Structure 1
Amino acid sequence: MVHDVLADEADNYSLRTDVLTGGVSMARSLGLWLAFEGSAVTVERLPGRAAFPRAGVSTRLFTLADGQVGRYEANFRLRFTDCACDPSWYYEDWVVHVSNGDAAGDRFLRGEPDRVVDHRVHLYGGRSARRPNR
């Protein structure tokens, strides 16, 4: 399940929220790969379209045992098109929770995850303060 929240400048930052379901196929559409081994699930971030930071290879985020929850935080600068004739771009800021099995009703919103990976960066290059991965 994914709780998608969008605040788009083109719509005067009006909030739009959707709850999406679809398991592995939905994870793939979000740029995540889920690999199952026994009762554990490994979550990887697939290479994406981000202009910055560029990711050319898959990145292992975490492995979750049955009942565990992981949080992945990242931000990106993306181009509207790959054509050099249009330099327009936009930002995305992600907070993705993944559960291996059932999670308590409000655990994604209020609970502490078992694993956290923070890949947020300063979107113009340089260093930014980040929490350590755990």
Structure 2
Amino acid sequence: MRALVIDDSRTMRRIVVAALKALEFDTVEAEDGRQALDVLESGTEVDLACIDWNMPVMTGYEFVVAARANPAFRDVTLMMVTTESEHGQIVKALAAGAHEYLIKPFTPDAIKDKLQLLGLVGYEETV
């Protein structure tokens, strides 16, 4: 599986990438929504996009709207990973087509839990 990590903060991209790599994802990075669309439009296969909301050039919300408007990207799972915690923002992102919403700060286990809910990561069996 491959994930596209979209965040204007290099540090935050590193944190998300580390959590995803621990779950055996290959990763690609983008600094804003426009750059992320360029990645998708280049033909790079992506299963998951982890998207910050507040970015220059194109926000995460604008990216979700644009990605959902293109049928070629309909199978990409979109998960907001952002500090935007206002209920209205969460509803807006989900209504636009995001599948899940994770509020920063978060733990690697929180990402894993969300990805399990989305069916992108299996549940570990306990003995």
The structure where strand makes up a greater share of residues is 1
| TM bucket normalised to smaller | under 0.3
Q: Could you say which structure has the greater relative contact order, defined with CA pairs below 8 angstroms and 6 or more residues apart? A: 2
The structure where helix makes up a greater share of residues is 2
> How high is the TM-score relative to the length of structure 1?
0.26
> How high is the TM-score relative to the length of structure 2?
0.26
